[in-house]
Amino acid sequence: MMKTVTLARSIRRAVAAMTTAALLCLAPVSPAFSADFPKQPVEMTVLFGGSSATIAQILSDAMSKHLGAPVAAVSRTGASGAIGYSYVKATPADGYNIVWNSNSISTAYHNGNMDFDYKAFDGVARVGMEVPALAVRTESGWKNLKEFGAAARKQKMKVGVSGRGAFTHLASAALFDKMGIDVIYVPYGKGSAPVELLAGRIDAALQWPSQYKAQVDAGQLRVIGVTSNVRLPVLPDVPTAKEQGYDVDAVLWRGIAAPKGTPRDVIAKLEAAIKNVVTGKDFQERAAKLGFEPAFLGAADFDKFIAADDAVTAKLMSELGLKKKK
């Protein structure tokens, strides 16, 4: 009997079970050391392209206004996030280098792409959540997950993912495990989901809704399911996997983290700037158009959330045969 895959639900339970004793303790610092932060530009490392990069740019631009200093979004992609995480980890813990992080901190570690985990960073704030959507070419004729699954049982499908071990790979594996089908995973490389789909190099792709919008509007691609518990405002007519009989709840979170040991007051200033942005009307309206759901969480709670998410992700990756780290 297949195991129930409920990422978000398990994370919520794990967070609720944790106590304040699990909070990470930050060493006190001299107020003189960081009282005038920031006095130079802050660099935000962005690990992925697509909607992730778009949202990061919107966030960094708005943070610049609240901090009174430039926040520059810099792309450092590759190895499912490991290249960017490794860069930021090696920088001074002074708040001038932060990373646009996500569940990738856990997937990159547990799939063996890097030898350190989330504990190498201090959480600053969770910004929001993003839900993967499964898309196919409209000409395929598949209108839902059941029809795709039936076709996949007759001929093994090629499914595009951001990279092996990436969250889209994990979410795809969770979905197809519940559907009882085997597929061939094809990393995009420098391509993108719509390009690879329309070129016929893959049969389906699980990716962020904003990447498909133009092609869906043009009638070239069809989204046949999303992996959240509820439908997305940006795709109100697309049923969830659960509605279609597959108990999957896989949602990506995104936020900001800094190297371990970053002064508490520096984190507080960054956190306050992010909160002002994320709770603002402009950010929320722009995020909604991208299918991104703002969900602010402060530094202390974000640290607990990441720890709980890491445990759930490790367990799921192990069950699906994707975990390489012990």
Residue 139 is given by DSSP the state: G
CATH number of 133-249: 3.40.190.10
CA proximity to 159, closest of 253, 312, 151, 63:
151
Instruction: Assess whether pLDDT exceeds 80 at residue 20.
Output: no
CA proximity to 249, closest of 267, 277, 266, 228:
228
Is 133-249 the same fold as 5-26+41-130+252-319?
Answer: yes
pLDDT at 23: 38
Nearest-10 crossing angle of helices 264-278, 50-67: 110
The model's pLDDT over 178-235, given as tens digits with 9 standing for 90+, comes to 999 999 999 876 568 899 999 999 999 999 998 888 999 999 999 999 999 999 988 9
pLDDT at 1: 38
Instruction: Assess whether pLDDT exceeds 70 at residue 326.
Output: no
Rounded to whole angstroms, how far apart are CA atoms 248 and 255?
A: 23
E strands, 131-270, are 133-137, 157-161, 183-187, 204-207, 221-226, 248-249, 252-259
The model's pLDDT over 233-254, given as tens digits with 9 standing for 90+, comes to 889 999 999 999 999 999 999 9
Nearest-10 crossing angle of helices 167-179, 145-154: 80
Nearest-10 crossing angle of helices 167-179, 299-319: 50
The stretch 116-140 carries a mean pLDDT of 97
Rounded to whole angstroms, how far apart are CA atoms 234 and 172?
A: 20
Greater model confidence, 136 or 213: 136
The stretch 138-167 carries a mean pLDDT of 93
pLDDT > 90: what percent of the chain? Answer: 76
Helix (H, G, I), strand (E, B) or coil at 171: helix
Contact in structure between 312 and 10 (CB atoms under 8 Å): yes
pLDDT at 94: 97
For the chain, how many helices (H) and strands (E)?
A: 12, 13
Backbone φ/ψ region at 245: left (φ over 0), alpha (ψ -120 to 50), beta: left
Bridge partners (DSSP) of residue 255 are: 101, 126
The model's pLDDT over 52-107, given as tens digits with 9 standing for 90+, comes to 999 999 999 999 999 999 999 999 998 889 999 999 999 999 999 999 999 999 99
| Annotated domain spans of the chain | 5-26+41-130+252-319, 133-249
The model's pLDDT over 257-292, given as tens digits with 9 standing for 90+, comes to 999 999 999 999 999 999 999 999 999 999 998 889
Instruction: Assess whether pLDDT exceeds 60 at residue 5.
Output: no
Instruction: Assess whether pLDDT exceeds 60 at residue 13.
Output: no
Instruction: Assess whether pLDDT exceeds 70 at residue 17.
Output: no
Whether omega for the bond prior to residue 31 falls within 30 degrees of 0, making it cis, is no
Confidence label for 26 from pLDDT (cuts 50, 70 and 90)? very low
Q: What token pair was written down for 140?
A: 């395929």
Residue 123 is given by DSSP the state: E
Confidence label for 27 from pLDDT (cuts 50, 70 and 90)? very low
| 175 burial type by CB count under 10 A (0-12 exposed, 13-18 middle, 19+ buried) | buried
Rounded to whole angstroms, how far apart are CA atoms 30 and 263?
A: 9
Backbone φ/ψ region at 306: left (φ over 0), alpha (ψ -120 to 50), beta: alpha
5-26+41-130+252-319: CATH class: alpha beta
